Amino acid sequence: MSNFIVTKDTEIEDLVRELPDSVVYLMEKGIRCLRCGEPIWGSIESAAKEKGFNSQEIETFIKDLNQMLKN
Amino acid sequence: MSLETVNPHTGKLIKSFDEYSSEQVKEIIDKSQLSFYKWKETDFALRKKLMLNVANILRKDKRKYSELMTIEMGKPITQAEAEVEKCACVCEYYADNAEAILSKEIIDTDASESFVRFDPLGVILAVMPWNFPFWQVFRFAAPAIMAGNIGLLKHASNVPQCALAIQEVFQKADFPEYTFSTLLIGSSNVNEVISNNIVKAVTLTGSDYAGRKVAEQCGKMLKKSVMELGGSDPFIVLKDADIDLAVSTAVTARLINNGQSCIAAKRFIVEEVIYDKFTQKFVAKMEKTKIGDPMNKDTELGPLARKDLLLELDEQVKRSVKLGARILTGCYQLEREGYYYAPSIIANVTKGMPAYDEELFGPIASLILAKDENDAIRIANDTLFGLGSSLWTKDRAKAKKLAEKIEAGSVFINGLVKSDPRLPFGGIKLSGYGRELSHYGIKEFVNIKTVWVK
């Protein structure tokens, strides 16, 4: 847990396990991390790109998520 | 990445496992192929004997396997025990019936002899979810292995101990090594397994999202796949229904497995004339639910399986309420250790709300008012999913006619939607394709081979 750092390549499966609150944060951005009780497959970057976010916006997500991890 | 058992009743980490390396996975697949060459030559008498051993082991160690499920994903222990029993039943069903179902089919043609035989395909990958961690695996494995195939399991990452326990069951039953193997891997490694030439087909039970990913990879490799995906099942109550029976089943249908089932009733569509009466009784019964430690025999509702599920569900409800849904009961996280959510009902649910458009994977019923019978069917079909459905009316003739109009893989009239080894199970639309169980299920993973003799 303590060594976990969010990057754009972090799998959603790992993200929601290490930082469950990320599902609410990403839902607010329009990205649903869970379907039918399972984390969606793929990385944060691929999930965000599917929803039309650009690299800069994805960087902001990563920064926010890492901040949430620290809190 | 590691795979972890976290007890949802306490939120505490119980055990973690390292993921298998690519080399380990490859070695298991290679050995599975070697096992296939021998297994496909075995006769049905041996397969039957071993599959009945599996059923016996499951029953003998029912308590152990039930506790494992409850610890890993939180289902009430009585439901876990029923699940193990059901697994034993599906093994017996295919042990007793596989030979007859797969016997050669003679067809008269211009040949002196022509017939169809059903040969095994080889190594089959099963990607399975955590909500029925034993049942969903056995309903694939029993028919596939009886047909002469080899099973490989990629289970959900939060039930690694169940995955290993199932492998152990097959070993204890004296199946040859690598007839059934568990791969402890994350979802990011599934494509690599599908791409392996040894793997001949894939079955997935899970979300439409995962289904698309797996189907896409199977498409690229031109491999057969069966998809059993999500649902947003309608529970349609018409004005001439037995309301007490419908209410009592509605509560079970929504709360079974702590509300986390693809075939749980999720949208309760009730005709206007009886709406108030049904609602009043539904709320009263829902509020009497016994919530608590899933290890207790009298617990009816335990925790959700993971914290992220709890948070998502809560958010979906809050958003629905913000958009005009009305809370009739519950709709909050319980203030206690673990991932508990109150048994809940929301009304005034309309299109555009998460409660209408998305699958709510927890103990929340969405009530929708229908003007009349036709409106009820229209609302029932107004979903991207098409897995199960149930219809409540005392008029059986009318019910059978309406069943034709419902877009779903099954219609249960005056009964709870459930799977049964004797009946096909599966969906249409975003709920997937292909069928499991019955004679349809076992024929999904065979080569339907024509033999023509001059």
Model pLDDT, residue A71: 84
Residue of B330, B332, B323, B355 lying closest to B345 (CA atoms): B330
Same domain as B93, residue B121: yes
* Residue B421, in any domain of the structure: no
Strand, coil or helix: B201 = strand
Same domain as B215, residue B98: yes
- Smallest CA–CA distance from A22 into chain B, residue: B308
- Among B5, B192, B261, B311, the residue to mutate for chain A (most A Cβ within 10 A): B311
* Residue B265, in any domain of the structure: yes
* Residue A37, in any domain of the structure: yes
Other beta carbons within 10 angstroms of residue A47's beta carbon come to: 24
* Residue A7, in any domain of the structure: no
Q: Which residues of B touch A33 (CB under 8 A)?
A: 308, 312
The verdict on a CB contact (< 8 Å) between A38 and B210 is yes
Instruction: Determine the Cα angle at B178 with ends B173 and B179, to 5°.
Output: 60
* Residue A3, in any domain of the structure: no
Q: Which residues of A touch B193 (CB under 8 A)?
A: none
* Residue B419, in any domain of the structure: no
Same domain as B284, residue B223: no
- Among A38, A45, A68, the residue to mutate for chain B (most B Cβ within 10 A): A38
* Residue A40, in any domain of the structure: yes
- How many angstroms separate the CA atoms of B259 and B243, rounded? 21
Q: Which are the contacts of B159, defined by CB distance < 8 A and separation ≥ 6?
A: B5, B69, B72, B73, B130, B133
Same domain as B433, residue B398: no
* Residue A30, in any domain of the structure: yes
Q: Which residues of B touch A16 (CB under 8 A)?
A: 306, 308
Mean pLDDT by 10 residues, chain B (454 residues): 92 97 98 98 98 98 98 98 98 98 98 98 98 98 98 97 98 98 96 98 96 97 97 96 98 97 95 98 98 98 98 97 98 97 97 91 96 97 96 98 98 98 98 98 98 98
For chain A, the distance separating the N- and C-terminal CA atoms, rounded to the nearest angstrom, is 13
Same domain as B29, residue B44: yes
Angle at which helices B160-172 and B44-60 cross, to 10° = 130
- Among A3, A10, A33, A41, the residue to mutate for chain B (most B Cβ within 10 A): A41
Return the amino acid letter for B13: L
List B201's β-bridge partners, or say none: B124, B224
Q: Which residues of B touch A36 (CB under 8 A)?
A: 129, 206-210, 229-230, 262, 359, 361
The verdict on a CB contact (< 8 Å) between B129 and A38 is yes
Domain with B149, as residue range(s), is: 2-229+429-453
- How many angstroms separate the CA atoms of B181 and B163, rounded? 9
Helix (H) or strand (E) holding B400, with range, is helix B396-405
How many domains in chain A?
1
- Residues of A near B (Cβ–Cβ under 8 Å) read 11, 13-14, 16-17, 20-24, 27, 32-42
For chain B, the distance separating the N- and C-terminal CA atoms, rounded to the nearest angstrom, is 58
Which CATH number do you get for residue B244? 3.40.309.10
* Residue B212, in any domain of the structure: yes
Q: Which member of A14, A34, A40 has the closest CB to residue B309?
A: A34
- How many angstroms separate the CA atoms of B297 and B68, rounded? 15
- Smallest CA–CA distance from A14 into chain B, residue: B1
Whether pLDDT at A39 is above 90: yes
**Binning pLDDT at 50, 70 and 90, where does residue A3 land?**
confident
Same domain as B185, residue B148: yes
Model pLDDT, residue B268: 97
- How many angstroms separate the CA atoms of A44 and A4, rounded? 15
- How many angstroms separate the CA atoms of B386 and A34, rounded? 19
How many domains in chain B?
2
- How many angstroms separate the CA atoms of B285 and B278, rounded? 11
Same domain as B270, residue B324: yes
Looking at CA atoms only, how far is residue B343 from chain A in angstroms? 17
* Residue B297, in any domain of the structure: yes
Q: Which member of A27, A35, A37 has the closest CB to residue B315?
A: A27
Model pLDDT, residue A20: 97
Cβ-Cβ contacts under 8 Å between A and B: the total is 87
Q: Which member of B213, B262, B307 has the closest CB to residue A36?
A: B262
Which CATH number do you get for residue B131? 3.40.605.10
Same domain as B401, residue B275: yes
Same domain as B262, residue B225: no
Q: HSE, CB side, 13 Å, CA atoms: give it for residue B68.
A: 21
Same domain as B360, residue B242: yes
Same domain as B278, residue B179: no
Catalytic residue among B19, B72, B228, B444: B228
- Is residue B228 annotated as part of the catalytic site, yes or no? yes
Model pLDDT, residue A2: 59
- Is residue B218 annotated as part of the catalytic site, yes or no? no
Whether pLDDT at A1 is above 60: no
Model pLDDT, residue B2: 81
* Residue A4, in any domain of the structure: no
* Residue A55, in any domain of the structure: yes
* Residue B423, in any domain of the structure: no
Model pLDDT, residue B424: 98
Q: Which two tokens stand for residue B178?
A: 């690598």
Q: Which member of A13, A21, A24 has the closest CB to residue B157?
A: A13
Q: Which member of B4, B230, B306 has the closest CB to residue A36?
A: B230
Helix (H) or strand (E) holding B14, with range, is strand B12-18
Same domain as B314, residue B198: no
* B414 and chain A in contact, CB less than 8 A: no
β-bridge pairing B224-228 and B150-154: unpaired
List B385's β-bridge partners, or say none: B429
How is B108-155 classified by DSSP, letter by letter?
-SSSSEEEEEEEE-SEEEEE--SSSTTHHHHHHHHHHHHTT-EEEEE-
Domain with A58, as residue range(s), is: 12-70
- How many angstroms separate the CA atoms of B422 and B424, rounded? 7
- How many angstroms separate the CA atoms of A40 and B213, rounded? 10
* Residue B424, in any domain of the structure: no
